[in-house]
Amino acid sequence: MCISKRFYISAMTIVLVVVFMFSSAFVVYAADEESLEIASPAAILMDSQTGKILYEKNSHEVRSCASITKVMTMILVMEALDSGKIKLTDTVSASEHAASMGGSDIWLKAGETMTVDEMIKAVVVASANDAAVALAEYISGSEDLFVSQMNEKAQGLFMGDTVFKNCNGLDEDGHVTSANDVAIMSRELIKHPKIFEYTSIWMDYLRDGKTQLVNTNKLLKSYNGITGLKTGTTDAAGCCISATAKRGNLSLIAVVLGGKTGKERFKDASTLLDFGFANYNMMEPTVSEDIFEPIKVLNGMKQYVNIKAEVDGNILIKKGKEHSVEHMIELVSQITAPVHVGQIVGHLIYKINDETVAEYDVIATEDVGEINFLSSLKELFRNIFCV
């Protein structure tokens, strides 16, 4: 049977259109939160700026977390650097305890020295357990005291699912966290931009080039916008990752715990990040200045006080909802003197339908003193002599 070339091309066109329609439908479906296929037992996706959770699966399930522990270790290290307690050029000497660590390490020998900068690089890039302990001891005097400080920090961040027993994540009874808590501490760590100078390193060297470091986060080579953050693998924890990525002004944190393989955790993390970037945007809030009308002041040296909104940061919204954002202002009708600069007098609220997506304080922009006999007398004389 002979088929004309024109018919064959037309048929192929129809087939391609149908395939495109079905593939497009699949993409839309796959972008839906309910349809995400996450193989690992626990996961979460968080917007790093607002802390809003965009997806979660067993996010409060208490689990081992392996070297993801080092996210909290690095928080304390970064805080010590910021406070001036330690410097990157400081020399750290490895103790026998630090040198005794197993698992991932850089084979520190008791008494061997490296700078703080080199130790951080070893911890972040190569997930070195021995270097983590050496830093902990240098900052706090002992690993035990450092771990106590890790737990205090966790409590301060409301990480209710977490208990640390060591600073490097080696399996230990009772050393647990959750995907939710890992996201919280990851968000805290990236408030220190310095950490990205280490998490973005793919390969480096220590000991004058004798020791090679290769980053355990393979997404650095494969995912667009990846910035970090930390991987971890042990028998009890499985394969874990806290992955941070940024595209434009949207920065996301994807946490995966308990993956069966390294490949599975990287795939799950990529799926979560893809979902976030496909469905969300950050929008800079705008407001009409004419809504900030002065507020009446009772018993004050002035009858009215000027106000403004403390608008900072962006608003996280779903793509396609940009034109649905509305803002409103809630203010006290009047305020009694004295009034101070920065005093909260109301709130500027942004909503999509009935859902509040952002809220900012409205504050007084000036001081208004309380009227009294002396101030009234001064005002009277001022008016007399100014006339």
pLDDT at 338: 94
Q: Give the chain as a 3 state SS string.
A: CCCCHHHHHHHHHHHHHHHHHHHHHHHHHHCCHHHCCCCCCEEEEEECCCCCEEEEECCCCCECCHHHHHHHHHHHHHHHHHHCCCCCCCEEECCHHHHCCCCCCCCCCCCCEEEHHHHHHHHHHHCCHHHHHHHHHHHHCCHHHHHHHHHHHHHHCCCCCCECCCCCCCCCCCCEECHHHHHHHHHHHCCCHHHHHHHCCCEEEECCCCEEEECCCHHHHCCCCEEEEEEEEECCCEEEEEEEEEECCEEEEEEEEEECCHHHHHHHHHHHHHHHHHHEEEECCCCCHHHCCCEEEECECCCEECEEECCCCCEEEECCCHHHEEEEEEECCEEECCECCCCEEEEEEEEECCEEEEEEEEEECCCECECCHHHHHHHHHHHHHHC
pLDDT at 286: 79
pLDDT at 158: 97
The one catalytic residue in 40, 64, 70, 153 is 70
Per-domain residue ranges of the chain:
1-30, 40-281, 289-374
Whether 149 contacts 166, CB under 8 Å: no
Q: Cα–Cα distances in Å, from 242 out to 16, 98, 257, 266?
A: 39, 25, 9, 10
Q: What's the whole-model pTM score?
A: 0.82
Backbone Cα Rg of the chain: 28
Residues 257-277 pLDDT 10s? 999 999 999 999 999 999 999
The one catalytic residue in 48, 59, 64, 67 is 67
Which CATH number fits the domain 40-281, given the four candidates 3.40.710.10, 3.40.50.740, 1.10.8.640, 3.40.640.10? 3.40.710.10
pLDDT at 365: 92
- Whether 70 sits among the annotated catalytic residues: the reply is yes
Tokens of 237: 């924890």
Segment 353-361 long-range contacts (CB within 8 Å, at least 24 positions apart): 353/324, 357/315, 357/316, 357/317, 357/325, 358/285, 358/313, 358/315, 360/285, 360/309, 360/310, 360/311, 360/312, 361/309, 361/310
Cα angle 194, 200, 205; round to 5: 100
pLDDT at 287: 79
pLDDT in tens, the chain (387 residues): 344 434 333 444 433 333 333 333 333 334 567 778 999 999 999 999 999 999 999 999 999 999 999 999 999 999 999 999 999 999 999 999 999 998 889 999 999 999 999 999 999 999 999 999 999 999 999 999 999 999 999 999 999 999 999 999 999 999 999 999 999 999 999 999 999 999 999 999 999 999 999 999 999 999 999 999 999 999 999 999 999 999 999 999 999 999 999 999 999 999 999 999 999 999 888 777 778 889 999 999 889 999 998 787 788 989 988 788 888 889 998 999 999 999 999 999 988 888 888 889 999 999 999 987 666 656 556 666 665
pLDDT at 167: 97
The one catalytic residue in 127, 140, 186, 242 is 127
289-374 has CATH 1.25.60.10 classification: no
